Amino acid sequence: MSRAVRSIGVVEPGRPAILDLEEPDPGPGQAWVRTEWSGISAGTEVALVRGTDPHHMLHWDPDLRSFDDAGPPAAYPVAGLGYMEVGRVTESRTPDLAEGQLVAMAYGHRTGTCADPSVKPVIPVPDDLDPLLGVYLAQMGPICVNGLLHAAADVAGPGAGVDAGVRDRHVLVTGAGVIGLLSAMLAVQHGAADVVVAEPSAERRAVAEALGLTTLADGAAAEPASPAWRAVKERWRHGPGDAGADVVLQCRGHDAALATGLKALRPQGTVVDLGFYQAGAEAVRLGEEFHHNGLAVVCAQIGRVPRGMAGAWPRTALAEVTLDLLRRRGDDVRRHLVTDVLPFEEGPRLLADLAGRRLAAPPLQAVLRFDVP
């Protein structure tokens, strides 16, 4: 048996819409979750709306894990967007989920889902947390924690905790979007010696500063005589021929931000890259600092934690670190990051406007509200 749900998907490039879908009824070990909040991840979702994400440009071979031209790219329609949901258990056939419980999951902007804790993480949202902030628990927060974990693995090996990646280290964060701001706040909380956020947008730098973070203008917004990378190297001098960030958390999907990060690193430093690139990287010159300073770039996407850490760091553990940040800084996150709350039905319009670059002031974090009885 199944039941009807509504979901925000993409009919064809440029056309997000609310679609009518079916979800299976919960069976043994499962529960039904009715959605209350769903956060929009603008970068990933807008790429799917535009059709510029790699899977819709090239063929993906899941066995070789490579893109090629040996087959067709992914097709439209895309049935669901999103990965930042909070819902309430309304029916349960598992002792792991109590009816009435509020949980965080990653299942897309849809009115409800059949939850199976053995298949996909189901994160309890505690009573002492603003329910809306639960949108960060299942995936967005763990993305940022995973960045710190990759930084830790780089210096301390597979047995390290997140503190090891930033404690007493000089950290540059490139990008003051949601991932950049949460990553910077995590770095501060976990003992970084100093944290600086480099961001082109004056509005986003103002948000970072309201959160107590130090900022630098990057890209065209920076003073020509003092680009962000130079300001970082002048701020953090460790010795002759040794200046710059110990680690860079790169949180923008733009090659210019990666170029800034590489230039800002001290010798043998690492860029931990959380950005989602959709084009080439003409701004990156591997024969320059990357080559001459012995630098490293590591991708820290949520699909995997560093090698050897999977047993100690399941998604629930990453969510626990996120929850600790939200308990300490939740009021600040709610006030400064969540800029727009709108009804579920307005989601397609917002996504279309974002994809078409029609908004003079795009939201930093938009959250969809599901009106439930």
CATH assignment at residue 265: 3.40.50.720
CA-to-CA dists, residue 37 to 87, 116, 125, 262, 348, angstroms: 7, 19, 12, 37, 15
259 and 207 share a domain? Answer: yes
Give the closest residue to 54 by CA, choosing from 253, 251, 271. Answer: 253
- Tell me the CATH number at 13: 3.90.180.10
Q: How many CB atoms lie within 10 A of CB 312?
A: 13
Count of helices and strands (H, E) across the chain: 10, 19
pLDDT of residue 160: 85
157 and 294 share a domain? Answer: yes
295 and 151 share a domain? Answer: yes
pLDDT of residue 220: 85
Phi and psi angles of residue 173, each rounded to the nearest 5 degrees, phi first: -110, 120
Domain that holds residue 197: 142-299
Size of the chain, expressed as the number of residues it contains: 373
52 and 110 share a domain? Answer: yes
Give the closest residue to 302 by CA, choosing from 111, 104, 147, 116. Answer: 147
Query: What stretch of H or E contains 133?
Result: none
Phi and psi angles of residue 323, each rounded to the nearest 5 degrees, phi first: -60, -40
Mean pLDDT by 10 residues, the chain (373 residues): 96 97 97 98 93 93 95 94 97 97 98 96 97 98 97 88 95 98 98 98 97 95 89 98 98 95 98 91 95 97 89 96 98 98 98 95 97 69
Number of domains in the chain: 2
Residue 39 lies inside a defined structural domain of this protein: yes
pLDDT of residue 373: 55
32 and 105 share a domain? Answer: yes
Token pair, residue 292, equals 């001459």
Q: What is the pTM of this model?
A: 0.96
Taking the alpha carbons at both ends of the chain, their separation in whole angstroms is 24
Q: State the Cα–Cα distance between residues 195 and 265, nearest whole angstrom.
A: 13
Q: Which residues contact 313 (CB under 8 A, 6 or more apart)?
A: 149, 305
81 and 107 share a domain? Answer: yes
